[in-house]
């Protein structure tokens, strides 16, 4: 749908233009929502690039090309949800295959791997991926895939993508990185030799909490061919309206991420000095254990942070329930600020013992810092901490 923009065009320009040139027929600036399930053929088997909308749809192509450009990859594939995208990566594995997984991953990813795919004879080893030795030790001859997130959810740990990519390569395994938290504006894993980047488009890329979607991006045409085969065969593809909404979101991704990062940095710094707060997990703080790795591989530190409160469970539950500007809800990455309690919400499906080992304590609270006035956000947290947490 577009002549690829030259490589020297900056991210902000590609965010707005990559994937779509004004429609030659009408001049439409935005890609139309091609609400058509099928496409006329000129002769049997001679289509004009599209035949059936599960296989491909022009609005979806515009989104896929836009995302590929932003991640610096050649090929993008869009899905009906982040989980559908992640599922498609697992479709690449052979029966009996082994996967090394960073321990602190999205709860839904953990559930898909253990509660669904272990029943299909895939084997998963969960390791502390911030420790390259632990990753190296876990890789065996049967390992076909290494799966990481960075920053991790909800503890905001940082995995050194380049080091883990080298270990995966040594072990003849693919490296897939879930880049949902950072977004391509702040971190591009393909630059550090990851094979596949996965996204929940539901979060920052959509950016307005009004659409669910997922994506996979790769530079390798063979991997893309296989992902495309499963995308079409399984059929968890997004409808064109969802694709349109995400495309509208990616246009403003740079300005949103700049403000998300700025607001989160301000709150993290302030919370770090607050007497009710034991620890702040934010990679932008100099005291974060992986601050140097984060600085090397990220352009800024994003809008997610978590805090540990030294308080009983009931007080922590009151705190997250009583904020007024922060809304108590799962999900993240929208313009509005959200607050949640991982142990009983997003990570409630992770077994209690494993939660403890990972460090997801009852006192842990996760914030998705939005684009409201940071003065209002800070005042909301200050008042609610004072009302609910004894110091």
Ligand X SMILES: *Cc1c(COP(=O)(O)O)cnc(C)c1O
The contact set with ligand X (CB under 6 A) reads 81-83, 106, 108-109, 149, 153, 178, 180-181, 200, 202-203, 212, 214
Q: Which is nearer to ligand X, 102 or 228 (CB)?
A: 102
Q: Shortest distance, CB of residue 32 to ligand X, whole angstroms?
A: 24
Q: Which is nearer to ligand X, 61 or 200 (CB)?
A: 200
Q: Which is nearer to ligand X, 57 or 202 (CB)?
A: 202
Q: Shortest distance, CB of residue 81 to ligand X, whole angstroms?
A: 3
SS (H, E, C) the chain: CCCCCCCCCCHHHHHHHCCCCCCCCCCCCCCCCCCCCECCCCECCECCCCCECCCCCHHHHHHHHHHHHHHCCCEEEEECCHHHHHHHHHCCCCCCCEEEEECCCCHHHHHHHHHHHHHHCCEEEEECCCCHHHHHHHCCCCEEEEEEECCCCCCCCCCCHHHHHHHHHHCCCEEEEECCCCHHHHCCHHHHCCCEEEEECCCCCCCCCCCCCEEEEECCHHHHHHHHHHHHHHCCCCCHHHHHHHHHHHHCHHHHHHHHHHHHHHHHHHHHCCCCEEEEECCCCCCCCCHHHHHHHCCCCCCEEEEEECCCHHHHHHHHHHCCCCEECCCCCCCCCEEECCCCCCCCCCCHHHHHHHCCCCCEEEEECCCCCHHHHHHHHHHHHHHHCCC
From the candidates 104, 178, 224, 380, give the one annotated as an active-site residue: 178
Which residue minimizes CB distance to ligand X? Answer: 82
From the candidates 23, 54, 220, 248, give the one annotated as an active-site residue: 54
Q: Which is nearer to ligand X, 340 or 380 (CB)?
A: 340
Q: Shortest distance, CB of residue 22 to ligand X, whole angstroms?
A: 30
Taking residue 17's Cβ as centre, other Cβ atoms within 10 Å add up to: 16
Q: Which is nearer to ligand X, 214 or 342 (CB)?
A: 214
Indicate if 77 belongs to the active site.
no
Q: Shortest distance, CB of residue 149 to ligand X, whole angstroms?
A: 5
Indicate if 203 belongs to the active site.
yes
Q: Which is nearer to ligand X, 78 or 271 (CB)?
A: 78
Q: Shortest distance, CB of residue 269 to ligand X, whole angstroms?
A: 24
Q: Shortest distance, CB of residue 391 to ligand X, whole angstroms?
A: 31
Q: Which is nearer to ligand X, 181 or 244 (CB)?
A: 181
Q: Which two tokens stand for residue 380?
A: 């909301």
From the candidates 34, 50, 106, 185, give the one annotated as an active-site residue: 106
Contacts of 171 (CB under 8 A, 6+ apart): 139, 140, 143, 146
Q: Shortest distance, CB of residue 214 to ligand X, whole angstroms?
A: 5
69 contacts 215 by C-beta, under 8 angstroms:
no
From the candidates 203, 256, 317, 355, give the one annotated as an active-site residue: 203
Catalytic site positions: 54, 106, 178, 203
């Amino acid at each position: 749908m577009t002549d690829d923009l030259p490589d020297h065009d900056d991210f902000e320009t590609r965010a707005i233009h990559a994937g779509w040139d004004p429609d030659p027929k009408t001049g439409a600036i935005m890609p139309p929502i091609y609400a058509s399930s099928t496409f006329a053929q000129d002769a049997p088997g001679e289509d004009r690039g599209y035949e059936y909308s599960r296989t491909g749809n022009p609005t979806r192509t515009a989104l896929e090309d836009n995302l590929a450009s932003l991640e610096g990859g050649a090929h993008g594939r869009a899905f009906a949800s982040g989980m559908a995208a992640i599922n498609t990566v697992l479709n690449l594995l052979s029966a009996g295959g082994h996967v090394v997984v960073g321990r602190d991953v999205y709860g839904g990813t953990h559930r898909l791997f253990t509660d669904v795919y272990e029943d299909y004879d895939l084997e998963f080893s969960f390791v502390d991926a911030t420790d390259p030795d632990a990753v190296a030790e876990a890789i065996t001859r049967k390992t076909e895939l290494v799966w990481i997130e960075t920053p991790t959810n909800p503890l905001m740990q940082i995995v050194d993508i380049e080091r883990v990519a080298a270990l995966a390569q040594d072990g003849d395994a693919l490296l897939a990185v879930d880049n949902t938290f950072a977004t391509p504006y702040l971190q591009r894993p393909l630059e550090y030799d990851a094979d596949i980047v996965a996204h929940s488009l539901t979060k920052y890329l959509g950016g307005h909490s009004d659409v669910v979607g997922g994506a996979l991006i790769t530079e390798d045409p063979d991997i893309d061919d296989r992902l495309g085969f499963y995308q079409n065969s399984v059929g968890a593809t997004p409808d064109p309206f969802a694709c349109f909404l995400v495309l509208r979101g990616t246009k403003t991704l740079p300005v949103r991420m700049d403000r998300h990062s700025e607001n989160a940095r301000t709150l993290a710094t302030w919370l770090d000095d607050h007497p009710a707060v034991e620890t702040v997990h934010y990679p932008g703080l100099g005291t974060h254990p992986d601050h140097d790795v984060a600085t090397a591989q990220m352009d800024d530190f994003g809008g997610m942070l978590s805090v540990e409160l030294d308080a009983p469970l009931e007080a922590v539950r009151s705190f997250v329930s009583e904020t007024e500007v922060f809304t108590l809800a799962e999900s993240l990455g929208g313009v509005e600020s959200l607050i949640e309690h991982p142990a009983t919400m997003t990570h409630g499906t992770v077994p209690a013992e494993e939660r403890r080992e990972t460090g997801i304590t009852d006192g842990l609270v996760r914030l998705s810092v939005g684009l409201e006035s940071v003065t209002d956000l800070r005042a909301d947290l200050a008042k609610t901490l004072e009302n609910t947490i004894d110091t």
